[in-house]
Amino acid sequence: MTDPLVTLDNVTVRFDDRPAVDRVNLNVHRGDIITIIGPNGAGKTTLIKALLGLQPITGGKVQRASGLVIGYVPQNLQMEATLPLSVKRFMALSGRSRGECLKALARTGIEHLVNASVHHLSGGEKQRLLLARALARKPDLLVLDEPAQGVDINGQAALYELIRELRDELRCGVIMISHDLHLVMAATDKVICLNQHVCCSGFPADISHDPAFIETFGQSVAESVAVYHHHHNHRHNLHGDVVLGQSSPADSHGDSCNHVHH
Amino acid sequence: MSIIDSLLNDFFWRALIGGLGVALIAGPLGCFVVWRRLAYFGDTLAHSALLGIALSFLISVPLNVGVIITCVVIALVLVAFSKTRTLATDTLLGILAHSALAIGLVTLSFMPDVRVDLTGLLFGDLLAMSRDDLLWIYGGAAVILVLLVTLWQGLLMSTIHEELARVEGFPVERLRLVLMLMFSLVIAVAMKIVGVLLITALLIIPAASARRLARTPEHMVGLAVVFGFVSVSGGLALSWHLDTPAGPSVVVTAFLAFLVTYSTTARTAA
């Protein structure tokens, strides 16, 4: 395997003696999509900021590959409304050529907003703009802090799909924070469940059965995530009736519903 | 040469040339004050300029030098203290602003030999502009403009989003320091025009007027400079014809321009 893009070695961040991030070890390689999940106040954003070098760490070591280009999508783009700024100008500040900027905007599907003011974008458009800006830099590592914030449910799935595609096109590593457990479980290679320390990590399918995961998120959440991975042996038509293959739609749901949990 | 000489011999023209020089740098720096929400911060630095003047008399250094050094020190203290977060920033600024002003006034009162025109320091003494003052203004303006042009990209990016700028490799902390230095410099030279109590007005009012019409950051800077020019020349004309105090007249003109801009233009889309 190639050298990791970023290595966190026993990284600890303390605020007033209270550890926000406690001895976390983590490697991000090219091609990885790693998602950090965890309850509020678990130190997810702090960990990401430590990785980026934005947050001074109190213990351990953060090693970034030399010459690493990072594309960062911060949690929100709260911009001072007193600063007049168009999408075009904001993209140009990345220092990349006009062509590259337009291409990146097109890739995230907001090329039609090139002349719009950044102050008039919706939450979803802002996220796509930030992603486009990160993209224009041709990053080795893409770091996203809750990229699907303010994006409706269909948009969220599309956004995660886009992130996967970008990973393949750029051959970059991806590390992100997410709250959308269901989408994460469906779209991620590796999940890290953080609660100050790494309470469990692994592949989505395995992690939902991990006792530490269940303890952190509660039985019902863990089950609902596991349910998401069940194998459907039937589909529903628009009325909610079960459609079993091509057979009669008259079957009632309760009888034929054989959810297989794994 | 003779034309320039005769212009510079006339106190009115000296005042106008000096005022326009200050407006030239107050425009871009005023935009940063507005964008970064530093109005009260600028006020604090300006108030501490009076302390700088008192200290200059005490240790006999040129006034401008004393003011610049005091402002830089106060700025550094502010940055250091605001990181500890034991007090809200506005409380901290209030304490420092008024303490610096009061200490300055008290210190001056201990020096009976020093004759200072307190009203001039507090509200400006535009019409007493000397040739030396002009040198300071245009020297300071040259330094600030060169710094702004060279560091523009980084200054703008760290204003828009500090963390993004840092990840992209801009030296955010150093840029902040340079910005403070430029504020200190502009305060030292603008003090002559509008006085320590009104400097912030000269920084933020033209920038605020410009915001209404601007579509890009650079556009806003250019318009702020124009509004600054209008304020200085209008204020001087007002002062000349109606015999009003020059510094406050400049601020009143700036305010009138602001009112006109806001009442005649629709909200812009940028």
Each residue's pLDDT tens digit, B86-122? 778 888 888 989 999 999 989 988 887 777 788 888 8
Residue A243, pLDDT score: 54
Distance from C-alpha of B9 to C-alpha of B21, rounded to nearest angstrom: 17
- For residues A182 and B34, the model is more confident at B34
Q: How far is B167 from A137, CA to CA, in rounded Å?
A: 12
Minimal C-alpha gap between B33 and chain A (Å): 10
Contact residues, A window 184-213, toward B, CB-based 8 Å cutoff: none
Taking alpha carbons only, the member of B52, B53, B68, B40 closest to residue B185 is B68
The full set of domain ranges for chain A reads: 1-69+139-229, 79-138, 232-262
Report which of residues B206 and B80 the model is more confident about. B206
Mutation pick from B34, B83, B164 vs chain A, by most beta carbons of A within 10 Å, is B164
CB A153 within 8 A of CB A160: no
Label residues B180-206 b or e (16+ Cβ within 10 Å = b): bbbbbbbbbbbbbbbbbbbbbbbbbbb
In chain B, where the domains are located = 2-264
For residue A236, pLDDT over 90 is answered with no
* pLDDT at position B37 over 80: yes
pLDDT tens-digit readout, B41-54:
899 999 999 899 89
Sign of CA dihedral B214, B215, B220, B222: negative
pTM reported for the whole predicted model: 0.83
Residue A182's closest CA among A218, A227, A152?
A227
Condensed to tens digits (0 to 9), the pLDDT of residues B120-158 reads 888 888 888 888 889 999 999 999 999 999 999 999 999
Quote the minimal CA–CA distance from A77 to chain B in Å: 8
Rounded to two decimals, the ipTM of the complex is 0.81
* CATH number at A1-69+139-229: 3.40.50.300
User: What's the average model confidence in pLDDT over B202-210?
Assistant: 95
Helix (H) or strand (E) holding B106: helix B89-109
In the CATH hierarchy, which fold is given to the domain comprising B2-264?
A: ABC transporter involved in vitamin B12 uptake, BtuC (1.10.3470)
Residue A58 CB coordination number (10 Å): 15
Cα angle A106-B220-B192, degrees, rounded to a multiple of 5: 155
Between A140 and B11, residue with greater pLDDT: A140
Query: CA-to-CA distance for B119 and B202, rounded, in angstroms?
Result: 18
Quote the pLDDT of residue B147: 96
B18 to chain A, minimum CA–CA distance in Å?
28
Residue of A84, A93, A94 with shortest CB distance to B270: A84
